[in-house]
Amino acid sequence: MLSPKSAETVRATLPAVSGAIGEITTLFYEKLFAARPELLRHLFNRGNQANGSQQQALAGAVATFARHLIEHPDRRPDAMLTRIAHKHASLGVRPEQYPVVREHLFAAIAEVLGDTVNDEVVRAWDEVYWLMAHALIAVEKRLLDEAGVPDGEVWRPYRVAARIEETAEVATFLLRPADGGPVPSSRPGQYVSVRVQLPDGARQIRQYSLSGQPDGGLQISVKRVAGGRRPGVPSEDPAGEVSGHLHAHVHGGETLHVSPPFGDVVLGDDGEGPLLLASAGIGCTPMMAMLAHLAATGSRRRIIAAHADRSPATHPFRTDLHRLTGKLSDATAELWYEDQLPHEDGLRRGGGLPGGEEGVGRRTGDVEEMAEVADVAEVAADPVTVRSGMMDLERIAVPAGTTAYLCGPVPFMKAVRAQLLASGVPASRIHYEVFGPDLGL
């Protein structure tokens, strides 16, 4: 894909660029936002800019793409490009924004690397940039066409039809199109972007996984993000601007601007092999959508739903997890809680989990009541294994041929992925979704 001369130059300069990429991207964003401050207010996630994770993601993407061009000149890194393109499409990124990024990125490269950046180096890395940019633009156009928004106008007003408190930190919002039109199609595991106007006038955007597929609407579940240090990011997180706004100000009847569903980590329609859905914390949202779809379609696959949380009280959709696994013919739930449980570790029991009465009679996962006595009895009969501590998949039998889907904090997914690889699950069968910039596993 790269011309021979450019490939030679990129190969020679890749170590220098990679070694300075963190400094380059930090300076790039400073230059970009100084010239175009509206991009920070209305497109980029201010929280990810504050904690440095967006810079890490851009650095990783550029370096990975360049290295791939050198090591595998006959094929593109389509998986990486597709993941980025889904994010861009959901944000409404436009082709005319790519030259703006190129201008400030190359200015940062020249400033950081100095005399190393001669005309030959600029031409070579310009080729890398536009190969990546044009590939992304093409994929993004296809995704927008498939979503029914070929003009790139992804924002559509939705009315908040209901709000349900799942836990003290997590609320579910049922959204219905304000124009009365049809709900866009989605696949289990996808997400939507939600744009809100904050008190300072900024229109900030966040992606939220669809946590269910209710008739006539979209369903998202949002955890209120507290500020502080988080594993896997270079600096302290500010408190979540958008999640805080939704929790404090959106109670029902308000209008939110929402994109069509996007996302490449989706439950496949084919295959009858075993499935493992492993999540931690709010990472359970796409897994619940997958589990609901499997139950609705009467899947007979062997399914293991594994979830880790701080305690039963902080575990969203706990009752729904029991209900849905109970509907499936060959599904089990494996739960780990960090807080020490007052029961025997590893005990297999029904819905009577520690604090289990808290979820009975509450709606947790769609917007329909499930307080019928028969439903509660059914939930209580569902087998589930509860353990104290961190998730350890070595304690359960992962069947041969398992396909795994992971979602949760990056350190959690790294640990679970390592456990799965050690148990013999091929890397090609392990899929993961990251909430925020993808820093890789």
CA distances from 277 to 225, 307, 427 (A): 23, 8, 15
* pLDDT tens-digit map of 145-184: 999 999 999 999 999 999 999 999 999 999 999 999 999 9
Beta pairing partners, 207? 193
Please say if 357 is a catalytic residue.
Answer: no
pLDDT greater at residue 345 or residue 199: 199
- Considering only CA atoms, which of 188, 216, 222 is closest in space to residue 324? 188
Do β-strands 203-212 and 218-223 pair in parallel, antiparallel, or remain unpaired?
antiparallel
Residue 168, Cβ density class (10 Å: 0-12 exposed, 13-18 middle, ≥19 buried): exposed
* pLDDT tens-digit map of 247-276: 999 999 999 999 999 999 999 876 789 999
Do 219 and 210 meet the contact criterion of CB atoms below 8 Å apart? yes
Do 167 and 218 meet the contact criterion of CB atoms below 8 Å apart? no
* pLDDT tens-digit map of 296-306: 999 999 999 99
Tokens of residue 166, six digits: 């799942």
> So what's the pLDDT on residue 343?
56
Say which residues have a Cβ less than 8 Å from residue 166's Cβ, sequence separation at least 6.
Answer: 172, 221, 316, 317, 364
> So what's the pLDDT on residue 331?
96
> So what's the pLDDT on residue 415?
95
How many residues are listed for the chain in this entry?
441
pLDDT greater at residue 365 or residue 435: 435
pLDDT band at 342 (very low <50, low <70, confident <90, very high): low
Mean per-residue pLDDT of the chain: 86
Instruction: Report whether pLDDT(381) > 70.
Output: no
> So what's the pLDDT on residue 53?
61
* pLDDT tens-digit map of 286-296: 999 999 999 99
- Catalytically annotated residue among 29, 98, 208, 405: 98
Instruction: Report whether pLDDT(246) > 50.
Output: yes
Instruction: Report whether pLDDT(382) > 70.
Output: no
> So what's the pLDDT on residue 225?
87
Please say if 98 is a catalytic residue.
Answer: yes
pLDDT greater at residue 348 or residue 248: 248
> So what's the pLDDT on residue 64?
87
CA distance 389 to 290: 25
* pLDDT tens-digit map of 10-42: 999 999 999 998 899 889 999 999 999 998 888
CA distance 79 to 86: 11
Residue 99, Cβ density class (10 Å: 0-12 exposed, 13-18 middle, ≥19 buried): exposed
Instruction: Report whether pLDDT(49) > 90.
Output: no
pLDDT band at 325 (very low <50, low <70, confident <90, very high): very high
* pLDDT tens-digit map of 86-98: 999 999 999 999 9
- Catalytically annotated residue among 29, 127, 140, 334: 140
